[in-house]
Amino acid sequence: MADLNINIAGIQFKNPVTTASGCFGYGEEFKEFYDLSLLGGIFVKAVTGSNRDGNKYPRMAETPSGMLNSVGLQNKGIDHFCSHIYPLIKDFNTRVIVNVSGSTISEYVEVAARINELENIPAIELNISCPNVKHGGMAFGTVPETATEVTRAVRDVYKKVLMVKLSPNVTSITEIAKAVTNGGADVITLINTLLGMAIDAETQRPVIATVTGGLSGPAIKPVALRMVWQVYKAVNIPIVGLGGIMNATDAIEFMLAGASVIQVGTANFIDPMAAPKIIEGINEYLDRHNIASARDIIGALKVS
Amino acid sequence: MKKFVHDFIVAFNNRLNSRHFILELQSPLPLPEIFPGQFVQVLVHNSPATFLRRPFSIHFVDYAKNTLSLLVQVRGEGTRHMGMLKPGETLNLVYPLGNFFSIPSSGKVLLVGGGAGVAPLMFMGDYLNRKNIRPDFLIGFRSADEVSQIDEYSKYGRVFLSTDDGSMGEKGFLTQHSVFSQSSFPYDHMYCCGPDAMMHAVAKLAAAKGSACEVSLENFMACGYGVCLCCITQTDKGNERVCVEGPVFDAARLRW
């Protein structure tokens, strides 16, 4: 049995496998399938300043080896989160990290400041990369100056571990990674979904109501791996990697490219047992390769 | 309610007509209690085009044989693949998902289904009979060559039939059936499953007749267990998840 413990920015994860925001609700639904304490951590659904109904139906299209979504950050806002959700999740025996989104810098700051007060949340993941909202979201994550600005503004009020989740919809991911590092990020999460589109040729209409949406699943894995690798070489802060991870081999690939922790996203929709299976598979891989610790494979890609 | 994910073994693949078939799937584990209106998420292997699971209403549960059946209409690559499954092959399911039809304590019941939407009504008919309620069925098909299993439905109640082309039963949409033009409408409860337009029309008729009406929605969904938030429908409580708060809704609560 290899050592699966990972420490990033002072947070101890019992293994590198966590679940991605927007793909795991608040964990409740998965209790019916397995013991959540198996997980390294849970990144819960994005929280915004006030209630958001999200986008119109249809919000989803199946695409080759992936799916397109345009949920649009549906959630009941930070007040409801603090009063109703936090009590349900605060005693999970795993790391619970909250994804934070907003339409304005002040909204991000307001939500981050509120979560700073919640004792059992060791970190937030700043979502400057949602492609499915009209204002904010990805707009903050595609221009280096605004990425620095929003990160810095949140850094000023948020005293625990600040993770920033990047959008792949940029020309240079390393520029954005450096920008949020300069803004005070402790950890970088990447990637969010790729902006995409699906058309029904028979009806000659877009498949989802918002016309464009975020592409996830194995279709985006090569892009995600490339970006994790580039960012790993460009900055000195830890990386949480995601994008199309379906099994342990995928997870290992992300760690070799430079991710310290990985997130399982869309795979949760297809196999509710995906995350625990990945933990087992990583353990089996490390034993098979006589590697003592999961830490030893982070960024261990042999390029030459 | 505890949910399960595991392989089932195909016991029978019974082709009803050119577009529909019934898969009878045997569980290697004792089936948990399942209620009419609930659904399963089916994993179709081996194709990038069938990446997500597909939701299907549970058509019938046979606890003695430890099987559940799905009534499937061939629509795309996933259902085509399912149609080719042979006895002994396996199919991975997540189940039982969603809420279920309410069981009335009194009054007369009409079960209304169109096309493959009729799927959950066989199970509902059986369930109601076990509760000593004998429902009537109103079933609509495109034409006589798609009419099937009438003898099976008849075990559980009287069957009214309509076909779009009039080749069997009454001609026209099922909402035009003479059941709805009786001077005094005898049904207190209606349960409906089928295409959205049909359910709209049935819900409207039910409201006009003063009958309670539950409809089973089949919105596009990714997960089926409440986390992706893709299958929402607007209700009097805002956006609700068809996979968890539904698929069965009181039609009067929907803003569709």
What's the CATH code of the domain at A172? 3.20.20.70
Confidence of residue A304 (pLDDT cuts 50, 70, 90): confident
Q: Is CATH 2.10.240.10 correct for B217-256?
A: yes
Q: Is B229 on the interface with A (CB under 8 A)?
A: yes
Whether the complex's predicted ipTM surpasses the cut of 0.85: yes
The mean pLDDT of chain A is 96
* Cβ-based contacts of B5 with chain A (< 8 Å): 33, 271-273
Residue A200 lies in a domain: no
Average pLDDT over residues A9-28: 97
Lowest mean pLDDT among A297-301, B40-44, B104-108, B189-193: B104-108
Residue A59 lies in a domain: no
Q: What are the tens digits of pLDDT across the range A157-180?
A: 999 999 999 999 999 999 999 999
Write down the CATH number for the domain with range B4-97: 2.40.30.10
What are the distances in angstroms from CA A170 to CA A54, A138, A149, B26? 24, 10, 17, 49
B184 to chain A, closest Cα gap in Å:
38
Task: Measure the CA dihedral B45/B48/B49/B51, to 10°.
Answer: 60
In this predicted structure, what is the pLDDT of residue B74? 95
Task: Tell whether the model's pLDDT for residue A145 goes beyond 90.
Answer: yes
Confidence of residue B183 (pLDDT cuts 50, 70, 90): confident
Residue A65 lies in a domain: no
Strands A194-197 and A212-216: antiparallel
Confidence of residue B213 (pLDDT cuts 50, 70, 90): very high
Q: Is A106 on the interface with B (CB under 8 A)?
A: no
A220 to chain B, closest Cα gap in Å:
13
Q: Which two tokens stand for residue B232?
A: 């929402």
Contact A32 B239 (CB under 8 A): no
In this predicted structure, what is the pLDDT of residue B45? 79
Write down the CATH number for the domain with range B109-215: 3.40.50.80
What are the distances in angstroms from CA A94 to CA A24, A38, A39, A41, A91? 14, 8, 6, 5, 8
Confidence of residue B36 (pLDDT cuts 50, 70, 90): very high
Closest CA to B233 of B225, B245, B41: B245
In this predicted structure, what is the pLDDT of residue B48? 83
**A79 phi/psi in degrees, rounded to 5:** -60, -50
Residue A26 is part of which domain span?
6-49+73-193+215-297
* Cβ-based contacts of B239 with chain A (< 8 Å): 53-54, 74
In this predicted structure, what is the pLDDT of residue A191? 98
Kindly list the domain boundaries of chain B, sorted by start residue: 4-97, 109-215, 217-256
Confidence of residue B116 (pLDDT cuts 50, 70, 90): confident
Helix (H), strand (E) at residue A276 = helix A274-288
User: Could you tell me if A8 and A60 are in contact, meaning their C-beta atoms sit under 8 angstroms apart?
Assistant: no
Q: Exactly one of A4, A68, A130, A246 is catalytic; which is it?
A: A130
Closest CA to B175 of B213, B148, B205: B205
Q: Number of folded domains in chain A?
A: 1
How much of chain A, in percent, has pLDDT values that exceed 90? 95
Omega before A191 within 30 of 0, i.e. cis: yes
What are the distances in angstroms from CA A204 to CA A17, A200, A201, A211, A227? 41, 6, 5, 12, 34
Average pLDDT over residues A222-238: 98
Q: What are the tens digits of pLDDT across the range A31-70?
A: 999 999 999 999 999 999 999 999 999 999 999 999 999 9
A300 to chain B, closest Cα gap in Å:
30
Which residue among A29, A33, A62 sits closest to B52, beta carbon to beta carbon? Answer: A62
User: Could you tell me if A252 and A286 are in contact, meaning their C-beta atoms sit under 8 angstroms apart?
Assistant: no
In this predicted structure, what is the pLDDT of residue A133? 76
* Cβ-based contacts of A213 with chain B (< 8 Å): none
A186 to chain B, closest Cα gap in Å:
28
Interface test with A, best of B1, B50, B220, B228 (most A CBs within 10 A): B228
Interface test with A, best of B229, B234, B244, B256 (most A CBs within 10 A): B229
Q: Is A82 in the active site? A: no
Q: How far apart are CA B136 and CA B125, in angstroms?
A: 9
Residue A209 lies in a domain: no
